[in-house]
Amino acid sequence: MTKPPIMPDSHFLYGANVRANGIRQHYLRYGGANGERASRDPVIVVPGITSPAITWGFVGERLGRHFDTYVVDVRGRGLSTAAPGLDYSLDAQAEDLIALAEALGLARASVVGHSMGARIGLRAARIGMPAMARLVAVDPPVSGPGRRPYPAKLPWYVDSMKAARAGMDWTAMREFCPTWTEEQLRLRAEWLHTCDEEAVLASFEGFHTDDIHADLPAIRQPVLLMTAERGGVVEDADVAEFASLLASMQTVRVPGAGHMIPWDNEEGFYQAFGTFLGVSI
């Protein structure tokens, strides 16, 4: 495993596995529960459909300055369990998150979910996650039964994963992510092969069959909906609909960013949290 780069002021602690909800769940931990962090709710980061935890390491580093932070590999990605016939449904992923917090002994935690991870967080809140103190839903796909499709196309995922399994370098990855930096491309080229195709196909299908809008009225935790100005995943009308279904929801747009918000406008991403997690980051 390639560890996140260790800088002089690095907050990376370690990567570890835990058995929760019947599978191996792998996570990277940043910050730790000491100093001022000990008085704040820990943060669990849940990445998107083809983003192993290590690709969110730079976000973990930043959050780790202020919070005890766990960035997780969703089942079928990174170093968490992947197996033929494994349940890759949204409900199973939400139950994983609930069980992970319990296995880590977290009585309270903030959840930050991006894209698929945001949908996982919303479903976990609806099912009932005792440890969830608040949720930041970052640009969740709003597709579902009878709704417009998710704007990304399935062949983009399938073709890039196939190339990664065959052994692609970072220059070849640029065909799929033309605006990314060399460092970002190298990390994705190295780790994309750990995304199980069966898992990704199931999640992509779930974007169009799972109704997350029905989850919203049942959510009792504070929710911040963070959306990208560009990319077309969450449009203004979608934000308005979310707010109508969960009146307490806070909303914020990140300027100049597409769906992969912290890749496009990293500082804007951090600023968008405001003090929602308890302190500015």
Which sequence positions are flagged as catalytic?
115, 235, 259
- CB 66, CB 40: distance < 8 Å: yes
Nearest alpha-carbon partner for 246 in 220, 272, 276: 220
* Residue that the structure tokens 């709704």 belong to: 147
Residue pointed to by tokens 């730079």: 58
DSSP structural state of residue 5: P
User: Which of 203, 226, 168, 190 lies closest to 55, judged by CA?
Assistant: 190
Give dist(CA 113, CA 130) in Å, integer.
17
Strand extents, DSSP E, the chain: 12-20, 23-30, 43-46, 69-72, 109-114, 132-138, 223-228, 250-254
DSSP H or E stretch at residue 69: strand 69-72
Burial string for 67-78 (b: 16+ CB within 10 Å, else e) reads bbbbbbbbbbbb
